[in-house]
């Protein structure tokens, strides 16, 4: 005890033992370790439960990987080819995972009708189109749901009426003259053909803005025009090829983080918002100074004059109010977002099909001569009919559907035709996989507008061909789109013959932005008629 040497040797040994035993300890406190084990076990159980949902409800589908789901199955592939291959393998209704999100794919027309029409209340929400949304687009029809959507949808639907169409057609015609002028210039410089999509994308912006809002964008002559720049950046941002957007669509919690990188779209949206504010001020001045002003009749005028019912708690209408400027802009942006890229891509696709099918192009020209003459447009009621042009547009939408599917989110558990839908599931109605089915459309690769003659349409299920969606949330711009496309076709066919050139590609490479559009444009030759 009293030996200081012994004490000295024992002490370091004790320390050694202490050090050795300490190295076997966990580097964290035991309570934390237990919590990690429990959390991991719960997470594994949750994921196992999540990723087995389709097994439990007896839906076939590709095997998902944890966290990624089936998104890797789309890597380096055209998504539409993946859906076509899955349909062959798993049938008309199957499930897959977009990251953590279970998605039910429907290729069955009757089931599609049940979801879009009969059980609309359980499926009225559409998943986000572009995860990067800026004020006031968060109020746009494309992004809202519930009672809010119902009220705003009523406003938007009301602006498409006979008076507004009649007025807007003259605006469409005016801008089509500019297109023809531009085509003449380019055609004389490039008689061997050129990329018509470059012109048509801008032309549709101009035509839409001029006829719908009395807004002279003239992007045909100025590619820096704010509305055109906004559309370009909006599409680049929303594109399926944009990895940041793709990630945010699958993992919504990343939106605040990745939004920081959405710079060009944000800046263009800001400039566009300022332009829209100026436009509304000018329009107000016109309407105030001239109560009979024609600009009351277009889409913007109709929105500005719309009276919105204000209800009390019992639902009784107590007064009416006009839309605020920001509400008007949100609606204008719904129409811009829904109507420009879709019509632009479709017009390019129609011209491609006419160039590839000279006998249909000739028939279309003769049809235009008979119903519209060599110049000008027929009256509005004739324009609304023009069945053959409508069949050409529909057959183009069958082969090249700019909106290849319709999407919904299930908001209440329900069962339809023995399939159990759970709250939060995505529903993808992939109409496009049916459009190339030879049992439904014989020789599906052949461009044949007669498939859309009334007698032929009657033979098919009403929910089989859905390029504009269906049910209460169907595209409100269908009539506007057909008018705009018909006016454009009439004017082009009256003056030019549409022919293929050495650079016309067949099949046409396409890309999802997320609108299906030509990947490298549409090259055609426009030859002036004698
Ligand atoms: C070829 C042209 C067009 C095609 C193929 C097309 C297609 C579609 C489709 C598939 C939907 C979704 C429907 C659904 O979820 O059931 C939609 C929605 C919409 N479209 Fe179109 N569209 C076109 C042109 C237009 C035009 C010209 C406008 C405006 C003038 C427009 C405005 C809208 C709006 C505002 C919505 C959202 C409706 C809502 O959520 O209630 N579209 N469109």
Q: How far apart are CA 305 and CA 218, in angstroms?
A: 26
Q: How many CB atoms lie within 10 A of CB 65?
A: 13
In this model, does residue 15 exceed pLDDT 50?
Answer: no
In this model, does residue 8 exceed pLDDT 60?
Answer: no
CB-facing half-sphere around the CA of 504: CA atoms within 13 A: 20
Residue 295 banded pLDDT, cuts 50, 70, 90: confident
In this model, does residue 13 exceed pLDDT 90?
Answer: no
Distance 337 CA to ligand 1 centre (A): 9
The pTM assigned to this predicted structure is 0.92
Average pLDDT of the chain is 92
Say if CB 236 and CB 266 are below 8 A apart. no
From the CA atom positions of the chain, what is the Rg in Å? 29
Residues with CB under 6 Å of ligand 1 are 126, 141-142, 153, 156, 334-335, 338-339, 342-343, 346, 402-403, 406, 467-470, 473-477, 480-481
Say if CB 196 and CB 488 are below 8 A apart. no
ipTM for this model: 0.99
pLDDT digit string (tens) for 180-220? 999 999 998 998 999 999 999 999 999 999 999 999 999 99
* H helix runs in 136-262, sequence order: 146-158, 162-189, 196-213, 226-238, 243-250, 255-258
What number is the average pLDDT over the span 268-295?
A: 91
Query: Which residue, judged by its Cα, is nearest atom 1 of ligand 1?
Result: 343
Q: What percent of the chain has pLDDT over 90?
A: 78
Angle 175-180-186 (CA atoms, 0-180°, nearest 5)? 130
Distance 481 CA to ligand 1 centre (A): 9
Query: Which residue, judged by its Cα, is nearest atom 25 of ligand 1?
Result: 339
Say if CB 124 and CB 115 are below 8 A apart. no
Residue (of 512, 516, 515) closest to 240 by Cα position? 512
- The residues that bridge with 322 in the sheet, in sequence order, are 307
In this model, does residue 388 exceed pLDDT 70?
Answer: yes
Q: How far apart are CA 315 and CA 122, in angstroms?
A: 22
Q: Which one of 248-252, 360-364, 514-518 scores highest in mean pLDDT? A: 360-364
Q: How far apart are CA 130 and CA 268, in angstroms?
A: 15
Tell me what pLDDT residue 21 has.
47
Tell me what pLDDT residue 23 has.
53
Strand, coil or helix: 53 = helix
Of 169, 338, 474, 517, the residue with max ligand 1 atoms within 8 A of its CB, to mutate for a pocket test, comes to 338
In this model, does residue 12 exceed pLDDT 50?
Answer: no
The tokens describing 102, both together, are: 């279970």
In this model, does residue 138 exceed pLDDT 90?
Answer: no
- The residues that bridge with 407 in the sheet, in sequence order, are 428
Q: Per residue, what are the HEC states of 253-299?
A: HHHHHHHHHCHHHHHHHHHHHHHHHHHHHHHHHHHHHCCCCHHHCCH
**For the purposes of burial, counting CB atoms within 10 Å of the CB of 462, is it exposed (0-12), middle (13-18) or buried (19 or more)?**
middle
Q: How far apart are CA 199 and CA 475, in angstroms?
A: 25
Tell me what pLDDT residue 25 has.
62
Q: How far apart are CA 101 and CA 521, in angstroms?
A: 34
Query: Which residue, judged by its Cα, is nearest atom 17 of ligand 1?
Result: 475
Weakest-pLDDT range from 5-9, 279-283, 345-349: 5-9
Residue 280 banded pLDDT, cuts 50, 70, 90: very high
Query: Which residue, judged by its Cα, is nearest atom 27 of ligand 1?
Result: 339
In this model, does residue 524 exceed pLDDT 50?
Answer: yes
Q: Is the dihedral of CA 359, 364, 367, 373 positive or negative?
A: negative
Tell me what pLDDT residue 240 has.
81
Distance 477 CA to ligand 1 centre (A): 6
What number is the average pLDDT over the span 125-147?
A: 89
Tell me what pLDDT residue 26 has.
61
Distance 480 CA to ligand 1 centre (A): 10
The tokens describing 524, both together, are: 């055609």
Name the residue with tokens 């986000």: 128
Q: How many CB atoms lie within 10 A of CB 37?
A: 10
The tokens describing 51, both together, are: 């990723």
Residue 292 banded pLDDT, cuts 50, 70, 90: confident
pLDDT digit string (tens) for 83-134? 999 999 999 999 999 999 999 999 999 999 999 999 999 999 999 888 899 9
DSSP letter assigned to residue 64: P
Distance 341 CA to ligand 1 centre (A): 10
- Rounded to 5 degrees, φ, ψ at 105 are -100, 130
Tell me what pLDDT residue 14 has.
43
475 belongs to an annotated ligand binding site: yes
Q: How far apart are CA 345 and CA 333, in angstroms?
A: 18
Say if CB 51 and CB 101 are below 8 A apart. no
Angle 503-509-514 (CA atoms, 0-180°, nearest 5)? 135
Query: Which residue, judged by its Cα, is nearest atom 3 of ligand 1?
Result: 342
Residue 24 banded pLDDT, cuts 50, 70, 90: low
Q: How many CB atoms lie within 10 A of CB 322?
A: 13
Say if CB 514 and CB 129 are below 8 A apart. yes
Weakest-pLDDT range from 60-74, 137-151, 360-374: 137-151
Say if CB 469 and CB 428 are below 8 A apart. no
What number is the average pLDDT over the span 451-463?
A: 97
What number is the average pLDDT over the span 54-79?
A: 93
- Rounded to 5 degrees, φ, ψ at 481 are -60, -45
How far apart, in Å, are the Cα atoms of 412 and each of 51, 53, 150, 242, 426?
A: 20, 16, 18, 32, 12
Q: How many CB atoms lie within 10 A of CB 474?
A: 15
Tell me what pLDDT residue 246 has.
87
In this model, does residue 10 exceed pLDDT 60?
Answer: no
In this model, does residue 446 exceed pLDDT 60?
Answer: yes
Could you identify the atom of ligand 1 that is nearest to the CA of residue 471? 16
Q: What percent of the chain has pLDDT over 70?
A: 95
Distance 232 CA to ligand 1 centre (A): 18
Could you identify the atom of ligand 1 that is nearest to the CA of residue 116? 16
């Amino acid at each position: 005890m009293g030996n200081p040497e012994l004490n000295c040797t024992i002490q370091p040994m004790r320390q050694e033992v202490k050090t050795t035993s300490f190295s076997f300890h966990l580097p964290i406190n035991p309570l934390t370790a237990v919590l990690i084990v429990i959390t991991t076990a719960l997470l594994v159980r949750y994921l196992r439960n999540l990723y087995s949902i389709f097994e439990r409800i007896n839906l076939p589908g590709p095997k998902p990987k944890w966290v990624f789901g089936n998104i890797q199955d789309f890597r380096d592939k055209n998504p539409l080819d993946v859906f076509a291959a899955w349909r062959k393998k798993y049938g008309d209704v199957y499930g897959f995972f977009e990251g953590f999100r279970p998605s039910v794919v429907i290729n069955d027309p009757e089931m599609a009708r049940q979801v879009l029409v009969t059980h609309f209340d359980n499926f009225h929400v559409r998943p986000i189109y572009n995860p990067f949304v800026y004020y006031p687009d968060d109020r746009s029809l494309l992004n809202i749901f519930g009672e809010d959507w119902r009220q705003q949808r009523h406003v938007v639907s009301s602006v498409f009426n006979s008076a507004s169409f009649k007025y807007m057609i003259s605006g469409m015609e005016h801008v089509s003259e500019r297109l023809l002028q531009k085509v003449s210039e380019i055609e004389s410089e490039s008689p061997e053909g050129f990329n018509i999509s470059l012109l048509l994308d801008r032309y549709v912006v101009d035509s839409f803005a001029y006829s719908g809002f009395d807004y002279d964008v003239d992007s045909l002559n100025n590619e820096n025009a704010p509305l055109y720049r906004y559309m370009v950046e909006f599409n680049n941002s929303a594109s399926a090829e944009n990895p940041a957007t793709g990630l945010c669509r699958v993992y919504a919690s990343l939106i605040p983080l990745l939004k920081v990188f959405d710079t060009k779209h944000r800046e263009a949206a800001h400039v566009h918002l300022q332009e829209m504010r100026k436009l509304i001020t000018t329009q107000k001045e016109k309407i105030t100074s001239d109560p009979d002003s024609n600009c009351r009749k277009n889409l913007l005028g109709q929105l500005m004059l719309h009276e919105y019912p204000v209800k009390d708690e019992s639902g009784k209408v107590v007064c009416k109010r006009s839309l605020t400027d920001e509400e008007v802009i949100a609606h204008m942006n719904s129409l811009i977002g829904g109507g420009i890229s879709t019509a632009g891509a479709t017009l390019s696709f129609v011209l491609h099909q006419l160039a590839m099918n000279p006998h249909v192009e000739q028939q279309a020209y003769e049809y235009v001569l008979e119903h519209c003459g060599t110049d000008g447009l027929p009256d509005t009621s004739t324009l609304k009919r023009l069945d053959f042009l409508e069949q050409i547009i529909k057959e183009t939408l069958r082969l090249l559907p700019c909106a290849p599917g319709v999407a919904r989110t299930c908001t209440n558990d329900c069962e339809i035709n023995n399939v159990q839908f759970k709250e939060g599931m995505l529903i993808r109605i992939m109409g496009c996989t049916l459009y190339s089915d030879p049992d439904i459309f014989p020789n599906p690769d052949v461009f044949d507008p007669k498939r859309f003659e009334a007698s032929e349409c009657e033979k098919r299920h009403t929910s089989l061909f859905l390029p504009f969606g269906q049910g209460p949330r169907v595209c409100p711009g269908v009539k506007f789109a057909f008018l705009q496309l018909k006016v454009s076709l009439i004017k082009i066919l009256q003056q030019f013959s549409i022919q293929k050139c050495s650079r016309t590609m067949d099949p046409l490479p396409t890309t999802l932005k997320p609108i299906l559009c030509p990947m490298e444009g549409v090259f055609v030759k426009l030859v002036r008629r004698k």
